[in-house]
Chains A and B, each alone.
Chain A
Amino acid sequence: MAINTDKNSYTVIFAVAMVLVVGSLLAFTASSLKPNIAENRRMEKQQNILYALGINGNEGTGDITFVSTDKVAEAFKTNIKEQLVLEYKDGAIIKTMNRQEYMDQYKQEPYLIDVKKQQANAKAGKSRLLPLFVGESEGKTYYVAPIRGKGLWDAIWGYVALDEDMIVRGTFFDHAGETPGLGANIKQRYFMDDFYGERLLTEAGVFKGITVAKGNNDPKNEIKDDYEVDALAGATITGDGVSAMIKNDLKLYQPYFENLNKQASN
């Protein structure tokens, strides 16, 4: 059987057939695996939030370890006391919803709020929904906020646990495609742990953020009020991305904490 593979008509037919076969194969794979993947993503979000809150399987100084997938739903339920959603517009929080109010309106759990979409909303001049997860760890109430920004190659994101003075009590960072061994190290425990105890606000209550700084003469990160953590070698742009997303996204939560403290002092 000899086919003349040089004929134009054959080439076109082959191309069409190939596109159809490969296209439907990919579509079939994607749609049949979708529920599994969505479930995995959901559990991952819960694990990440709990990790930032300090509820994780870390042992000694080893790698980061999450609450296992079979226990995460239960752990999330018991440890996250409330999921708040703040509606933010033009520098002010115009509305605060609790989980029930949010679910009545939007028909989904607040922790599934897509931060990327909300950032796009804000850019388009619309209001932005800011999720805030209230949980307990070390016997105190901490507030976990999601952040998202750009690394060198792709998106980076994370969760930061804060106390009522906006002092960092835990972080979790992740990335879509930073360079292994360099920028990808933001997902290493030694980098995340450096943020513990760092302050976001100055004494006067002005938002300053935390900068990932090179050569800050504090490699062990013992100085907690310098608004700096030690950078990763060879990952300047990823580090800058981390500084930027902390500054941009956590700043929006400042009015909520101001309000919280005002109420407490009354």
Chain B
Amino acid sequence: MGLLSKKDAKLITDPLADNNPITIQVLGICSALAITAELKASLVMGIAVLFVLGIGNVVISLMRNIIPSKIRIIVQLIVVAALVIIVDQVLKAFAYELSKTLSVFVGLIITNCIIMGRFEAFALGNGPWRSFLDGIGNALGYAVILIIVGFFRELLGSGTLFGIPVLGDPIEKTGVYSIGYENNGFMLMPPMALIIVGLIIWVQRSRNKALIED
């Protein structure tokens, strides 16, 4: 990549695979369970976190030399909360429909451990540009897992993708339903998200033995 140095590029590519926030750092599991019953929600959550983590990391990084270490967690929390609330208010005023879609996510973003985790682990010790890249990278890594989980849960649980039926109509018995296929309602329950995340972790670690801790 010409735009980014090799070291900077790694900040984006690492979290996508070998240092994924969900499967390796095991952060942000709660929201991965809560909102992945449909693909659209997963995507929206991914974009929202991308936005907040990118900006939040920069803000924290700019303040890193003046934040008193004793209250740094509270300061981080205030920064995320303020950011999210301001974005929410602006959306409510100028893009009301969109804000309705996002309303559920506001609370989930503020309490998302990935955001606090990256502030704490990266932004407090690095410059704004690198922090920004780290934020984008981690948010993308988070979004990828959310989208994979959302894809399987919505497909197997409801037979739809982005709300569009792709397997036929379960009530009229068309498509694959005509040969006796049934939607697995279990996939819509949060525990199944945990199982899918577990399967992703399994696949990932069996392909790259270096990730296995002993």
Number of residue pairs spanning A and B whose beta carbons lie under 8 angstroms apart:
89
Q: Which of B38, B67, B103, B171 contacts A177 (CB 8 A)?
A: B103
Nearest chain B CB to A249 CB, angstrom units: 22
> Which residues on B sit within 8 Å (CB–CB) of A177?
103-104, 107
Asked if A11 and B82 make an inter-chain contact with CB atoms under 8 angstroms apart, the answer reads: no
For the complex, give the distance between the alpha carbons of A22 and B154 in Å: 40
Across-interface contacts of A180 in B (CB, < 8 A): 35, 37-38, 40-41, 104
A5 within 8 A of B: yes
B67 contacts A181, CB within 8 Å? no
Q: A36 within 8 Å of B by Cβ?
A: yes
Interface residues of B in 132-164 (CB under 8 A from A): 153-154, 157-158, 163
Contacts of A22 in B (CB 8 A): 78, 82
Check: A176 CB closer than 8 A to any chain B CB: yes
One of A25-33, A76-84, A130-138, A205-213 contacting the partner: A25-33
Chain B residues positioned under 8 Å from A3 (CB to CB): 65-66
Question: Do residues A178 and B71 form an inter-chain contact, with CB atoms below 8 A?
Answer: no
Cα distance A47–B183 in the bound complex, in angstroms: 34
Find B71's partner among A14, A30, A181 (CB 8 Å cutoff). A14
Asked whether A26 lies within 8 Å of B82 as measured between CB atoms, the reply is yes
The answer to whether A5 touches B67, judged by C-beta atoms less than 8 angstroms apart, is yes
The residue on A at minimum CB distance from B68 is A11
8 Å CB contact of B92 from A11, A25, A40, A63: A40
Q: Which of B70, B158, B171 contacts A11 (CB 8 A)?
A: B70
Q: Is B69 an interface residue when CB atoms closer than 8 A count as contact?
A: yes
Say if the beta carbon of B202 comes within 8 Å of chain A. no
Tell me, yes or no, whether A260 is within 8 Å of chain B by CB. no
Chain A 70-95 near chain B by CB (<8 Å), digits 1 or 0: 00000000000000000000000000
Cα distance, A40 to B103, chains bound together (Å):
15
Interface 9-residue window, one of B1-9, B17-25, B83-91, B204-212: B83-91
When chains A and B are docked, how far (Å) is the Cα of A11 from the Cα of B66? 10
Which residues between 10 and 31 of chain A lie within 8 Å of chain B, taking CB atoms?
10-11, 14-15, 18, 22, 25-26, 29-30
In-complex Cβ contact of A33 among B75, B89, B183 (8 A): B89
- The interface size of chain B toward A, counting residues with CB under 8 Å, comes to 39
Partner of A181, one of B78, B89, B188: B188
| Interface residue SS majority, chain B | helix
Residues A5 and B189 in contact, CB atoms below 8 Å apart: no
Q: Tell me if B166 counts as interface (CB < 8 A to partner A).
A: no
State the Cβ distance, A8 to closest chain B Cβ, in Å.
8
A179 to B183, CA, bound (A): 19
With A6-B68, A15-B71, A179-B34 as given contacts, are A37 and B92 in contact (CB-CB < 8 Å)?
A: yes
Q: Are A18 and B75 in contact (CB under 8 A)?
A: yes
- Give min CB distance, A57 to chain B, whole Å: 13
Complex CA–CA separation, A30 to B82 (angstroms) = 12
- A residues in contact with B154, CB < 8 Å: 181
Q: Is B96 an interface residue (CB 8 A)?
A: yes
Residues of A contacting B35 in the complex (Cβ-Cβ under 8 angstroms): 179-181
Contacts A18-B75, A25-B82, A37-B92; A181 near B38 (Cβ below 8 A): yes
Which residues of A come within 8 Å of B, CB atoms?
Answer: 3, 5-6, 10-11, 14-15, 18, 22, 25-26, 29-30, 33, 36-37, 40, 44, 63, 176-182, 184, 219-220, 233-234
**Top 4 A-B residue pairs of the complex, sorted by shortest distance between their CB atoms:** A181-B37, A180-B41, A181-B38, A36-B93
B→A interface (CB under 8 Å): 34-38, 40-41, 65-71, 74-75, 78, 82, 85-86, 89-90, 92-94, 96, 103-104, 107, 153-154, 157-158, 163, 171, 183, 185, 188-189
Q: Given contacts A10-B68, A14-B71, could you give 10 more A-B pairs where the C-beta distance is less than 8 Å?
A: A14-B68, A30-B89, A33-B90, A36-B93, A177-B104, A178-B104, A179-B37, A181-B41, A181-B158, A233-B158
Q: 17 A-B Cβ contacts within 8 A?
A: A5-B69, A6-B69, A14-B66, A18-B78, A22-B82, A26-B82, A29-B85, A33-B93, A40-B93, A44-B96, A63-B163, A177-B103, A180-B35, A181-B35, A181-B36, A233-B157, A234-B185
